[in-house]
Amino acid sequence: MENLLDGIEDILLMGPGPSCVHDKVYEALGKKSIGHLDPYFIRIMDAIKADLRTLLNTENTLTIPMSGTGSSGMEACFVNLVEKDDPVLVLINGVFGMRMQDVAQRLGATVDTLEFEWGTPVVVDAVKTKIAQKHYKIVAVVHAETSTGVKNPVAEIGALLKGSDTIYLVDAVTSLGGMEIDMDAWGIDAIYSGTQKCLSCPPGLAPLSFSNKAVAALENRKTKVPNWYLDLSLIMKYWKGATRAYHHTAPINMHYGLYQALQLILEEGPDNVYRRHLHFHHELVKGLEALGLSMLVAPASRLPMLNSVRVPEGVDEAAVRSTLLREYKIEIGAGLGPLAGKIWRIGLMGHTARQENVTRLLTALKANLF
């Protein structure tokens, strides 16, 4: 009988995620499963919480990986914090800001938005004016907008909200592990990420952290969290304290993978990891520009881990991606929404951000485009 797994090729993952996975993480994923209440597994859980706190620069007790992909982290933040008619402001400059708006609206929040041109960052002064006009329970923004390659001014928006009772909610799916996040200093109250970007794990877990302010909002809800699976007040009984209570069966081996991926980042040193991302981003941009290509985003707002490149006039962008995948075993991403057909999205996430990968892609693009 054919086994489809035998046909899986070694693809260089240079798209918007998933990213390349280190062999040590694959080895970790293949270790024997143990029980989700085994005291040894609880030690691994505690180590993951501590490592996530280090990477996020936070003291928050409620810092855990949610079961599910990045979107489960997004849902978890909103579903635990939003009650019907709560005023929420979502800052939008790409697909994932739009997804936040959708999630908050489905929960019955009164959602206002501030929208910015795709490929440009959120403008801090516009946020300042908006929050002076109306009080919001939550202000939400995406740190690294994967659909465009734009870095949003998360620290500056946090500074506007300091001292207020507004909850500051940040999407760090693409940024965590690839650029600095200073959760406590930046005044972030709720944050979520995903394993398959700069943490260089396969998809499957969503690191999440809540400040005391966010926990208080959860504890003081007038109504029950309307989703049993994502209710953090229930989930914390499994992740905290001397006696751990079953909530759902934790995806054991994914936690092994995340544990190992975090170890790799902490061993290299987070600052070195961020510098490596930035260095190979500059190398890639230099190489792309030498090929006559231009970047979508202005230099000051470019993400190191997600590079949006304009497709030159007359080039069939899908054909280029398909040749790269078929003949060169390299995956890059297409544009989304208004940028479909107009850009390629080249990821340099986590373990992918290495010289050999930059060189291999530039060589393949050169052979293909000209």
Ligand X SMILES: Cc1ncc(COP(=O)(O)O)c(C=O)c1O
Q: Which residues bind ligand X (CB under 6 A)?
A: 16-17, 69-71, 74, 96, 142, 146, 171, 173-174, 194, 203
DSSP state of 248: S
Nearer to ligand X, 41 or 78 (CB): 78
- Closest contact distance (angstroms) between CB of 243 and ligand X is 32
Nearer to ligand X, 64 or 364 (CB): 64
DSSP state of 197: S
Q: Is residue 351 helix, strand or coil?
A: helix
Nearer to ligand X, 265 or 306 (CB): 306
Nearer to ligand X, 92 or 364 (CB): 92
- Closest contact distance (angstroms) between CB of 370 and ligand X is 31
φ and ψ at residue 257, rounded to 5 degrees: -60, -45
Nearer to ligand X, 93 or 364 (CB): 93
Q: Is residue 265 helix, strand or coil?
A: helix
CA atoms of 126 and 122, how far apart (whole Å): 8
Nearer to ligand X, 16 or 121 (CB): 16
The residue number whose beta carbon is nearest to ligand X equals 70
Nearer to ligand X, 142 or 311 (CB): 142
3-state secondary structure 277-293: HHHHHHHHHHHHHHCCC
Query: Distance from first CA to last CA of the chain, Å, rounded?
Result: 43
CA atoms of 136 and 168, how far apart (whole Å): 10
φ and ψ at residue 56, rounded to 5 degrees: -85, -5
- Closest contact distance (angstroms) between CB of 66 and ligand X is 11
For tokens 């090729």, name the residue: 9
φ and ψ at residue 356, rounded to 5 degrees: -60, -30
List CB contacts of 246: < 8 A, sequence separation 6 or more: 36, 37, 238
Nearer to ligand X, 188 or 364 (CB): 188
- Closest contact distance (angstroms) between CB of 203 and ligand X is 5
- Closest contact distance (angstroms) between CB of 155 and ligand X is 17
Residue in 260, 184, 198, 203 with CA at minimum distance from that of residue 66: 203
DSSP state of 143: S
Beta bridge partners of 72: none
Element containing residue 264 per DSSP (H, E): helix 252-268
123 is written with which tokens? 């403008």
Nearer to ligand X, 169 or 364 (CB): 169
Helices (H), ranges, 134-231: 154-161, 212-219
Q: At what angle do helices 270-290 and 355-369 cross, to 10 degrees?
A: 20
